[in-house]
Structures are given as C-alpha cells and as structure tokens.
Amino acid sequence: MGEAAAISTDQVAHVARLARIELTLDEIEHYTGHLGRVLEHASELADLDLADVPPLAHPYPLRNVFRDDVASSPVDRDEVLEQAPAASGGQFEVPPVLGEEA
Amino acid sequence: MSTARAIAGDIRSGAQRAADVLEEYLGRIEAHDGDVHAFNTVTAEQARAAAAAIDAAVDEGRDPGPLAGVPVAFKDNLCTRGVATTCSSRMLEGWRPPYDATVVQAMTAAGAVMIGKTNLDEFAMGSSTEHSAFGPTRNPYDLARVPGGSSGGSAAAVAAGFAPLALGSDTGGSIRQPASLCGIVGIKPTYGRVSRYGLVAFASSFDQIGPFATDVADAALALGVISGHDPFDSTSIPAAVPDFEAALARGVEGLRVGVVSELTGSGRNGAATGSPMLGDAAGEVLGGIDADVTERVLEAADALADAGATVGRVSVPAVTYGLTAYYLIAPAEASSNLARYDGTRYGLRVEGADVEEMNRLTRRAGFGDEVKARIMLGTFALSAGYYDAYYGKAQRVRMLTRRDFDAAYADFDVLLSPTSPCVAFRFGERADPMTMYRCDTCTIPSNLSGDPAMSVPFGTGAEDLPVGVQVMAPALGEEAMLTVAAALERAAPPLPKPPLAAAASTTGAGS
C-alpha cells in the first residue's frame, strides 16, 4: 500500500481528531492508504479550469421555505428519552464537559 | 408471484384476504431468507395486526386504498415508530424511532402492510451490502454474488418474492444499481419529489427515496403513493403529482431518446458495441463498462427506435468527472450529518472520562470501516486549506453536470445508459475502494443534477445474470421516463426468474 502523496498520516490523525474518531496507529496507516487512493483519483479535478463555473450546492433551488404557523404536537419527550443511552430529570445525561467532577 | 396491483385488486374486491397473502409471503421469508438475508427485522406480528385491520375494513365495505394488503419492505434507514431502525450499523442497533417517516405513513395510509426492514450497506455507504454490520445480503440469482447496494436488502427481497414492493434510498445509485443486479425495476425520483422526512440522512443534497417492484406499473403505482409535497421536508417540491400510471399506456412515438456516449463505451477497444440504428459509439470509454452491458443498452435503444422513438447519440461530457465530484461532496455532507452520532441522544454509547472521550470511543466502536473512511474523507475535503481544491471544485463540477444535462435535454426527452457497468459480482471481488466506487459511474450523474432516473431489466449478460438499462429524464420528468421504461419492458427479452423465486412460485400457496 504505502503512503499516497495526497494525504499524510499526520493529516489523517488530525482529521480523525476533528471527526471525533479514536484510531490506533495501525488504523491511521490504513486510512491514510484508503483516503490517499480516493484523493489521488480526485487530483484529476485539479487540471480543470472551472473559475467561470459557479458552484452548485443544491439541485433544486427553493427559497424561504416556511410551513404554516400552526401549533402541532411535538414528538413525545419520554419516548425520545427512552432511546437515549442515559437520561435523568427529563434531560439527556452526559459525562463532564468542562473537565470538572459532575 | 403476483404484482402489487393484482394483490390489491383481489383484496379490495374480496377475492383474497390480506391475512392469507401475508402468510404466503411470511412463509417464503421463513423458508429462504436464511440464505438471502434480505431482512434485518421481520415484523410478522405487527404485519398480522395490520393485515387483519385491512380485512376488517373490506368486510365493513371501506376501501383500504390502492395498496390494500400489499406486503412492503422498508430499507432499514427509514424510520418506523417503535420498530428497530438500525441503518445496518452497530451505532443504531436497537434504536426505536419515536416517529414514522413520511413515506412509511403514506404507504400505510394507502393500505400497504409493512413486512420488515431490509439490510443495507452501513448508513447506505456502499454498492454491495458488504459494508453492513450485520453481514451481507445475497443475490437471489446467485447466492455467491452481491445484490448491489446500498439498498441490496430491498432489491433482493423483491427479487426473491419476499415482498411485491419495497422502498429504498438512492444517494449515488443505491436504488438503481441493486435493482439492475437483481433483475427488477427501481426508481430514483426527482430530488424533492418524495419527502425525505424520516430518512436517516447520508448526503442530504443527494438522498432520495424511491420504490422497487417486479414491473414498471407497480413501481409507478408506489411512486404515486409516496410522491408529493411535505411541510416536514423543506427541500420537498411543492408541485402537483402527475398520474404516473397514465404515462405507461402512452407510446414512445415522437419521443426523442439520447444514448449517452460517455457511458456506452466505444468500438475502439475492439468490443462489439455496434448497433444497427446507431453504428459504432463515438464517445470516450469511461473506465470499464462491460461490453455485454453496453450491447444490451444499444439493443434497448434499437427497440425504442422500432417502437417509433427518435433515437440518437448524445455527449454529456461532465459525466466522466461525476464519480470524483460525488466522492468528495457526498462524504463532506456525510461528515456533517453523521456528527449527530455522539453517544448522547440515541444509539450506542461507550463511556469515557469526559464528553469528548465518550464521543471518540463511541464513534470508534459504533462505525464500521467504510463509514469511518468517508467521514474522515469528508472532513478533510471541508478542512481549512483543502476546501477550495476539493469540495469547492467538486461543486463546480456539479454545476457543469447540471449544464451538460440541460444541453442534452434541449435535444432529447430522455437519456439512456447502462445502470451498472457490470452484472452482479462475487463477494470480495471489489474490495478496493475505487473499484467499488466505480459501480456508481452511470448512476451518480443524475444524483448530481437531481434529475429522476430508473433502472429497467433488459436481458442478461455474463453468467446469464440480469442487466438493467437506465432511463434518465429532466427534473419532474418522471412521466416521459416511465413511458420509455414501459416500452422497454414490453420489448425486453424474457428474464429467467431467480432460482429462489421460481421455487417459491411452484411451492407457494396458489399465487
């Protein structure tokens, strides 16, 4: 496999941190190969001169989409919280966010 | 095996009971799904209750609707209230959505009976179901081969006679390619024609829900049921829903059909791709369209010409860059959409010392290899310093595709190409990511443009396996697409039934 020039192991480690995915060193090597193969292929776009072509983000342009301002019943809170890994007092429960003890 | 139309007709008229029809299909699933693995979940008890309600309605003189008592399979990324919706991922194993997808509501309101949830590549990322966390689905034509993907479970279910109808989702070809590999009909509607509310998001500017069926008329019927504006999907198009079934009876006389040169190979490599009507292809070869597949497409074009259509070749140059653009934009959108799986609100959680460690460990354990790769690829394509070169450039190619299609549709009403570059392949044959991604070469362009496209069986290729022809049309042009698909269906050589379904129809209870 080997490392493709399009992306380095350091870059893959950085991207994994951004994407919040824990990886081992072996896995970083593996994904460097996988992503490298795709990005190598993607380099064919580099030769295209598309400066005059605007980007297209969405196939069917719709603007200012509002639904009618009518009250309706939301999804049941208890039914939602029943599916959460941890919940208490009508809320989702998570580990400490700011490094302090809960 | 009966069509959905015949089943619904019989049940509405009282000639058959929904409960009996259901048991027949449950029996086939029981007998053969151990081999095929089309389903993640079979909802037998719920289906029995639904079928009983349909029968009760008929007894009381009420019409249960156009899909009265028709068993239907839903891809397991469509939310079903109280019924596990896994996306074939460890991340969502056991999750029971608190609401139904709009399409699930629409099918149920039309009288359909949910029979189960079907297998897919994890989060719909793949072309073979080999990326399912729960093991692959096998092709009913040959259990050693893939059914295609990502909606491989839905396609295999219909091909094997486990349900006359199924719904799937198509982001880069995930309805059309498995329909092609399993010898059935699959439709990707215009982006916005069908509400995405309750479809677990993969790449939101591409994702579209559509039907699988054994024939074009059943697919058109199901398409009519699920189409229409939905205030819960802000990308849903506020347009009237045409009578799709009326389009089937129209002839192709006067319709202009363009065969896409870039997707039908070339005679230059010595492949036999000549056509009496069109002569040799003038277009460029795009990495590996099998010669036998191209031959079927050219035969399909000739059949349309015989039926009175005007057939010609058309160049859509940007399609040669479609694959590359798609595999930057779709992962970019996925990296954002899948950020929600963080161990907090639903699905898997792996405990950590703080919230960020919990996020990282949860996502490590919950996502499979391909999903991790695509999230990271997308994150990279969007990251500072690379955005313009990758994501930005890909979006410009997307505009180029849109323009090239617009130019082609100025001269032609519909376009023709292969659906898949090859027939069903063997497990493990396309382990390399780029080789797997090339399965989507012919289907991706219509996802980039947002236009409707469908696959219709047209003969067989290598190993007597089914070949699908893709019919593409401009946005909201489903009627012309269906007219041409129906004509192709009438002209197609008879397709052998998959061994499983053939066995089922001889041993089945009188269908």
Q: What is the pLDDT of residues B384-409, one digit of tens each?
A: 999 999 999 999 999 999 999 999 99
Q: How much is the average pLDDT of B300-328?
A: 95
The residues, any chain, with a CB within 8 Å of residue B66's CB and separated by 6 or more, are B8, B110, B111, B221, B224, B225
Q: How much is the average pLDDT of B67-77?
A: 98
Complex ipTM above 0.90? yes
Q: How much is the average pLDDT of B478-489?
A: 98
pLDDT of B501: 66
CATH topology of domain A9-45: Histone, subunit A (1.10.20)
Q: How many CB pairs under 8 A join A and B?
A: 170
Q: How much is the average pLDDT of B28-47?
A: 98
Cβ atoms of B5 and B248 within 8 Å: the answer is no
pTM of the model: 0.94
pLDDT of A98: 79
Is A1 an interface residue toward B (CB < 8 Å)? no
Q: How much is the average pLDDT of B318-338?
A: 96
- Whether residue A55 and residue B396 make contact (CB cut-off 8 A), yes or no, is yes
pLDDT band at B17 (very low <50, low <70, confident <90, very high): very high
pLDDT band at A65 (very low <50, low <70, confident <90, very high): confident
Both tokens assigned to A100: 């302090």
pLDDT of B349: 98
Residue B21 pLDDT > 80: yes
Tally of helices (H runs) and strands (E runs) in chain B = 17, 11
pLDDT of B268: 35
Residue B277 pLDDT > 60: no
pLDDT of B503: 59
- Stretch 8-47 of chain A: residues touching chain B, C-beta under 8 Å: 11-12, 15-16, 18-23, 31, 34-35, 37-39, 41-42, 44-46
Per-residue pLDDT tens over the stretch B241-255: 999 999 999 999 999
Picking from B510, B508, B362, B359, the residue whose alpha carbon sits closest to that of residue B31 is B508
* Residue B239 backbone zone (phi > 0: left; psi -120 to 50: alpha; other: beta): beta
Picking from B139, B131, B98, B134, the residue whose alpha carbon sits closest to that of residue B117 is B134
pLDDT of B495: 94
- Stretch 323-362 of chain B: residues touching chain A, C-beta under 8 Å: 324-325, 327-328, 335, 339, 342-349, 351-361
Residue A3 pLDDT > 90: no
pLDDT band at B285 (very low <50, low <70, confident <90, very high): very low
CATH topology of domain B4-240+498-507: Amidase signature (AS) enzymes (3.90.1300)
Is B396 an interface residue toward A (CB < 8 Å)? yes
- Stretch 78-137 of chain B: residues touching chain A, C-beta under 8 Å: 95-99
DSSP at B167: E
Q: How much is the average pLDDT of B419-430?
A: 96
Q: Is B71 exposed, middle or buried (0-12, 13-18, 19+ CB in 10 A)?
A: buried
Residue B511 pLDDT > 90: no
- Whether residue A84 and residue B353 make contact (CB cut-off 8 A), yes or no, is no
Chain B CB contacts of A69 below 8 Å: none
pLDDT band at B270 (very low <50, low <70, confident <90, very high): very low
pLDDT of A96: 87
pLDDT of B505: 53
The minimum CA-CA distance between A95 and chain B, rounded to whole Å, is 5
What does each C-alpha distance from B53 to A41, B41, B114 come to in angstroms? 54, 21, 13
pLDDT band at B502 (very low <50, low <70, confident <90, very high): low
- Stretch 475-504 of chain B: residues touching chain A, C-beta under 8 Å: 475
Q: How much is the average pLDDT of B331-347?
A: 97
> A38-42, B156-160, B184-188, B483-487: which has the minimum mean pLDDT?
A38-42
Chain A CB contacts of B403 below 8 Å: 53
pLDDT of A68: 84
Is A53 an interface residue toward B (CB < 8 Å)? yes
* Residue B343 backbone zone (phi > 0: left; psi -120 to 50: alpha; other: beta): left
Residue B509 pLDDT > 80: no
Q: Which among B344, B354, B363 has the least Cβ separation from residue A96?
A: B354
> B118-132, B327-341, B423-437: which has the minimum mean pLDDT?
B423-437
pLDDT of B140: 98
Residue B487 pLDDT > 60: yes
Q: Which among B349, B396, B433 has the least Cβ separation from residue A37?
A: B433
Strand ranges inside B318-460, DSSP E: 414-418, 453-460
pLDDT of B510: 38
